[in-house]
Structure 1
Amino acid sequence: MSISKSQFMHSSLDGLIELEHGERQIALEYLADAWNMAEDDGVNTRSLAHASLFAALATFVRLYGDEATAELLHDLPDRIRTGEYNLDKILQ
């Protein structure tokens, strides 16, 4: 489906962002199911993590190119250090 920018108002953009967030949540659920099945089959968690990172990065490179992917990942170390990816972190 192709939609031009002129068809969107700002409120519609908020709906699109919400839709994208919902799609990402569904994708995460699919990945969690696959991860759990692989663990149940005895695949090591570290191997799953490495394979997942490789697949994600290779997909970003294919879709956006080397430079754009590197730029996307530029702030990743700081985001990791501040706990953005820590599932055990308690938010206040």
Structure 2
Amino acid sequence: MFDLPSVELDEMIQAEKKQVALEYHSEAWADGISDGIESDILAETAITTALLELVRLHGEDQVVEMMDDLRQRVRFGEFRADRTVQ
């Protein structure tokens, strides 16, 4: 049996948690759509819920910095549905 460095193991655990979280969000999204809730309403409430939690955990200043980073990522097209990764 081989041992992974703890940093690498922590990264793998975080990646797995993110994948599971994405699956939970996808399920909730699909449930909302099937209940007749529009995508833009689901998106806005998801963002609002996330921001409330992030401010609670990290404070307003750090969340503003996160939002500035996200703004740049949006401007660079990272979240476009037709984006191709090279």
Please report the TM-score for the alignment, with normalisation by the length of structure 2: 0.88
Instruction: Determine if the alignment matches structure 1 residue 11 to structure 2 residue 15.
Output: no
Instruction: Determine if the alignment matches structure 1 residue 58 to structure 2 residue 52.
Output: yes
Instruction: Determine if the alignment matches structure 1 residue 29 to structure 2 residue 48.
Output: no
Structure 1's unaligned 5+ residue stretches are 1-9
Give aligned-pair identity as a percent.
33
Range moving further from structure 2, 45-54 or 69-78: 69-78
Task: Work out the number of aligned pairs and report it.
Answer: 83
Instruction: Determine if the alignment matches structure 1 residue 39 to structure 2 residue 39.
Output: no
Please report the TM-score for the alignment, with normalisation by the length of structure 1: 0.82
How far, CA to CA, are the matches of 2:77 and 2:9 in structure 1? 28
Instruction: Determine if the alignment matches structure 1 residue 78 to structure 2 residue 80.
Output: no
How far, CA to CA, are the matches of 2:80 and 2:10 in structure 1? 27
Provide Cα deviations, 1:17-39, integer angstroms capped at 9, x if missing partner: 11101101100110000000100
Structure 2's unaligned 5+ residue stretches are none
